[in-house]
Amino acid sequence: MNKFLAIIILITFSFACKKEQKKVADDLIDTNLEEAKIEKESGEWIYLLDGNSTDGWRAYNGDALPPGWIVKDSVLTFDTELGMEQDYTGGQDIIYANEEFDNFELYVEWKIPEGGNSGIFYHLKEGIPDAGPPDISPEYQLIDDANYASIHDLTSYNESMGVKENLADLQDWQKTGSDYAMHPADASQKVLYPVGEWNTTRIIFTPEKVEHWLNGKKLLSFVPWSDEWQTKKNAGKWKDADLYGSFKSGYIGFQDHSSPIWFRNIKIKKL
């Protein structure tokens, strides 16, 4: 085989491979679009954000959204500068108030800035004296794992929590994907995209099993209200929070932790 013929064969083979790869990619896109269409038409998912308004959302223990929470470019956004510009004496955590949920699969896309911190609450109840959302509701932690500790001084806080080592670092139970202060995320399974990039979260809750997922990877699983769960609760941060995690239904909520936060494609499926 002469050199010229070999080059022609190589170019032809390369073109055929690229064409096949494009076909596979196009087929995958078509499949995903069709699945999304079927999913939406099936009515299984309840969309908690219509992309145009904040309908359904209000302050925790409030009648309206706190300043700073807006929808911009189809994204539910907490704008800290806007929030500070207005006088507001209430808390700035928010809930989806149209419905309470018991057993569910929740899907959320989110991103945070450098040093950002927030969380996703579920089974959240209102009107409880001397108790905020973290004292009542389990929390899927959202935080800038890479930079938060270098920006914020954690030493005093960790000392108050009885942490004796690595006082200035985030503890495992404080990191993204963890069941905050209860079940740490499995670091070996974690794929966390850099600040400013979108991440996907799934929370699955049933009385038999709770799962936290991040970007397609399962980070943890536990049995709610089991003996092991009770022991962990009574030995840690929530030992004096009698109502923590006790409710079997409640609101979905997002936490204001004094940093910008962005949420989109918020949907829930009843199980």
pLDDT given for residue 207 in this prediction: 98
150 and 175 both lie in a single domain? yes
Report residue 194: phi and psi, to 5°.
-60, 160
Report residue 41: phi and psi, to 5°.
-75, -25
123 and 82 both lie in a single domain? yes
53 and 106 both lie in a single domain? yes
Question: DSSP string covering 89-112, please?
Answer: -S---EEEEEEEESSEEEEEEEE-
3 and 89 both lie in a single domain? no
159 and 34 both lie in a single domain? no
| Number of compact structural domains in the chain | 2
Structure tokens at 205: 């809750």
111 and 129 both lie in a single domain? yes
Question: DSSP string covering 115-134, please?
Answer: T-EEEEEEEE----TT--HH
pLDDT given for residue 127 in this prediction: 96
d(CA 116, CA 144): 5
Report residue 210: phi and psi, to 5°.
-115, 135
Structure tokens at 49: 């954000």
CATH at residue 214:
2.60.120.560
235 and 145 both lie in a single domain? yes
159 and 30 both lie in a single domain? no
72 and 8 both lie in a single domain? no
Partners of 163 in the beta sheet?
none
Domain extent, residue 7, equals 1-42
pLDDT given for residue 164 in this prediction: 59
243 and 121 both lie in a single domain? yes
pTM (predicted TM-score): 0.81
Q: What is the pLDDT along the chain (271 residues), one digit of tens a residue?
A: 565 555 555 555 555 544 554 444 444 444 444 444 445 555 699 999 999 999 999 999 999 999 899 999 999 999 877 655 555 545 689 999 999 999 999 999 999 999 999 999 999 999 999 999 999 999 999 999 999 988 877 666 666 666 656 656 899 999 999 999 999 999 999 999 999 999 999 999 999 999 999 999 999 999 999 999 999 999 999 999 999 999 999 999 999 888 899 999 999 999 9
37 and 49 both lie in a single domain? no
SS (H, E, C) 190-218: CCCCCCCCCEEEEEEEECCEEEEEECCEE
Q: How buried is 74 (Cβ within 10 angstroms: 0-12 exposed, 13-18 middle, 19+ buried)?
A: exposed
12 and 102 both lie in a single domain? no
